[in-house]
Amino acid sequence: MPYSAVIFDLDGTLIDSESLWSVATREVLAEMSFDPAHPVLDRLFGVDMATCAGLLGAAFPGLDLADFDARLTARTDQVEGRGIPLKPGARELLDILHARALPRAIATSTRRDRAHHKLHLTGLDRHFATVVTFDCVDRAKPAPDAYLLAAQRLGVDPGACLVFEDSDPGTRAAHAAGMTVVQVPDMVAPGTDLATHIAPSLLEGARMAGLIA
């Protein structure tokens, strides 16, 4: 086995939450009389909420960010409460890693409470004893901090880690940490060439990286 551990991003990589969040974001913006088709929305994937707030504030002068956040949180809770689909191949790949007892972790820019809530809702929490969130690090993605901390907590060398990511900020973060990166694009096409492999699905990416046959 060429890897000592596998680290996953969460939203858009293991769970199909980005599409739900995108719809909710556009609906709330429209309700508040702002353009729900503004191109800045494509830049929000894979970044932390503080960065999102900065981008939204610059794109939409006059937007009450506190009101927007409260409305979006309520709308997202409502939608996610009906269930968050897994990305294709997520359960199968995690079952394979579990059977091999290969160490694995989550490294996400989502806040701790939201990340654990989503893992619980989807039943993926049983696969991850190590969960690194936005609250755990000083610098969010694209800085490498979350991935380096995940490797440290797993007790493995960063260079021996395989990462699955969907976004460019996450791909940059994992690359900067010195890890092998499989990018499985979700809502936005890749805008960086830093991924070791770009794959149409988790299972195909695992094959390309030599993780599974």
Choice among 9, 145, 166, 168 that is catalytic? 9
Beta strand segments in 90-209, E? 104-107, 130-132, 161-165, 180-183, 197-198
- In the numeric block, which tokens belong to residue 40? 């800045």
Please state the length of the chain.
213
- In the numeric block, which tokens belong to residue 118? 């989503």
- In the numeric block, which tokens belong to residue 130? 């190590």
Active site residue 125: no
Distance (Å, whole) CA 55 – CA 206: 33
Cα 187 from chain centroid (whole Å)? 12
Q: Bin 101: left if φ > 0, else alpha if -120 < ψ < 50, else beta.
A: left
**What is the set of active-site residues?**
9
